[in-house]
Amino acid sequence: MNLFSALDISGSGINASQTWINTTAGNIANANDTVSTNSPVYATQTPFFQAIGQLGQVGDGVAVTSVQLGSSAGVVQYQPNSPLADSQGNVRVANVDMGSQMVDLIAAQTDYQANASALASAKTAYQSALTIGS
């Protein structure tokens, strides 16, 4: 761990949080997607994170290991007025739980803000240290 590790650690947290915000925003934006019953519908995206560094030691940040897709099976709903409805009046809609997506969005925003605050504090501390000798 070097003197400027706080910048790298906070920066990796900001990048991970931004990925989380982006995937959650995509899920929310596509929550009302509708397709015919013989087509796959929007699959929710879930980012997976992993700590950087040695297990049991001070970490070096976080990395997004993957963004995995949920099921594209969706939910079949009766919407006879939809132009995409089959002969029984059914369509396939995205299976996005808006409640959990909003919770994820708030958590990602809080995580982003915490990392940005830590980055600003580290920057202030480093700038103060540079002025000690002058």
Question: Which amino acid appears at position 77 of this protein?
Answer: Q
User: What is the model's pLDDT at position 105?
Assistant: 96
Contact 9, 61 (CB under 8 A): yes
Predicted TM-score (pTM) of this structure: 0.85
Domain-wise residue ranges, the chain: 8-131
Strands (E), the chain: 34-35, 45-51, 62-69, 75-78, 90-93
What is the tens place of the pLDDT at every residue in 94-106?
A: 999 999 999 999 9
Q: Average pLDDT across each block of 10 residues of the chain; the chain has 134 residues. List them in order.
A: 75 94 97 94 95 77 94 94 93 95 96 92 83 76
User: What is the model's pLDDT at position 49?
Assistant: 94
User: What is the model's pLDDT at position 3?
Assistant: 61
